Amino acid sequence: MPIQPSGATERPHVKTKIIATVGPACEARERLRDLILAGVDVFRLNFAHGTHDWLSGILTSIRSASLELGRPVGILADLAGPKIRLGELAPDGIQLTDGARVVFVRAADPRDPSQLTCSYDRLIDDLQPGDRIMLADGLVAMRVVEKPSSSDRLVCQVDRPGRIRSRQGVNLPGATLHTPALTEKDRDDLTWALDNRIDYIGLSFVRSAADIVQLREAIAAKSPTASPGIVAKIEKMEGVAELERILPLVDAIMVARGDLGVEVDIALVPVLQKQIVRQCNELGVPVITATQMLDSMQTKETPTRAEATDVANAVLDGSDAVMLSGETAIGMYPVQTVSVMNRIAGEAEKLLPAQHAGKTSNSSRIRATPVTQAVTLGAGVAADHLSADLIVVATRSGRTALAVSNQRRYVPILALSDNAETVRRMTLYWGVIAVQTSAAGASHEALMQFVVEWGRRSGLVRSDGRFVLVTSTDWSSEAKDTLLVHVMP
């Protein structure tokens, strides 16, 4: 990857990262390029849709555009997980009326439209009278009112009417399910992701720390050349309850408000979002806020005021990244949507110093040595005290850059590495500008020269400015953690 160029491809430094989901609306290489220029830091590949051949083409286009622009871009492969779906219905679906009775059976009689099936074969075994069933992203709701002793069917009463269609999602709030953390499809998709050196793997419907352990074991069994980071998607109350145990095992958390908003009372979603983000901030784990952030921009060129406020609040809460789904995958205005999100995040960040600047983690979760954490803390304090233009981090693993990022200081962080995988991983870190260069592992003189030239080209370092440089022990066993302050000549 070449050095990031100056000029037309530069954009104002926004610290909150933007993740965009790829779909038919942005699959063309030029459109992907435009999205990078508009502010995308990480692209999400949704394995619930698209073949491996199609995804391979997308991946090639993303990496080609990234190389052309000299701007690293991360890739998040989102495994579909054990999503429960309705079986086949009539072409137009079924309109369910309030109070109507429907029956879930193991094998439906095609002559009886009131009989439903789903992809989860233990549904009838696991549910009891009083349990709720949510369909069509929660738009239709019913509850179990009868379970005959034969246990071959569930009689349900519709509490929230609406139309249901084949293959729509089924949510079972509060029920203890016996679904695997990784389906056979997930394992196949994981192999593709590892073969293609994907940067992050998203695990859907995480319920416990054991789910993460299972994914790590599946990755280790493949002996990949580069191990991806793991993003745990929190979209069930079981995952919320187990978050404290999940956090030490993952590289990032996603607050997946779509399914979470179906699994719990909608009034709880904003509260849970803030609680999850706060826990992640306290433990130094990057956190992504996702789902319907600018949803109306699928069909309109401007968002609602409420959506703009939602994005700003996610930034103010402490989100490291905000994510777009249908807005970029199938929406009419993907590039405009990213541009608007970038602008909103930039404006919200102007309020962050009083709330978050100088925050330090009190957790041993950060994968850096105590000495490195102390040196990076000192770098942050020095940068603030000296009104430095940049904090520069030379790192091989990215741990030092994450330690600085977790302080949430307003000073931009330039993270340099000679490792391409590390650079792409750092695209998810708040406030970090990731650049690949061989100067990262060179002498202090070569490193200083590179930063001075980069700072002048980018315009982020004033002619009479200063920057603070941190190098860490992860370069070699002989290397030492160092902190230097450079004053521009």
Which residues are known to be catalytic?
44, 85, 233, 291
Q: How far apart are CA 472 and CA 403, in angstroms?
A: 11
Q: What is the DSSP string of 423-466?
A: HHHGGGSTTEEEEE-GGGGS-HHHHHHHHHHHHHHHT-S-TT-E
- With CA atoms as reference, report the closest residue to 390 among 372, 371, 415, 368: 415
* Exposed / middle / buried, residue 173 (Cβ in 10 Å: 0-12, 13-18, 19+): middle
Sheet strand arrangement including 153-160: 84-85, 169-171, 132-135, 140-146, 153-160, 101-105, 115-116
Neighbours of 122 (CB within 10 A): 11
Beta-strand (E) ranges in 47-179? 74-78, 84-85, 94-96, 101-105, 115-116, 132-135, 140-146, 153-160, 162-164, 169-171
Q: What amino acid is encoded at 227 in this protein? A: S
Q: Chain-centre distance of CA 467, in angstroms?
A: 30
Contact predicate 39/341, CB 8 Å: yes
153 φ, ψ (degrees, to nearest 5): -160, 160
SS3 45: strand
124 φ, ψ (degrees, to nearest 5): -65, -35
* Exposed / middle / buried, residue 184 (Cβ in 10 Å: 0-12, 13-18, 19+): exposed
Based on DSSP, count helices (H) and strands (E) in the chain, helices before strands.
Answer: 17, 22
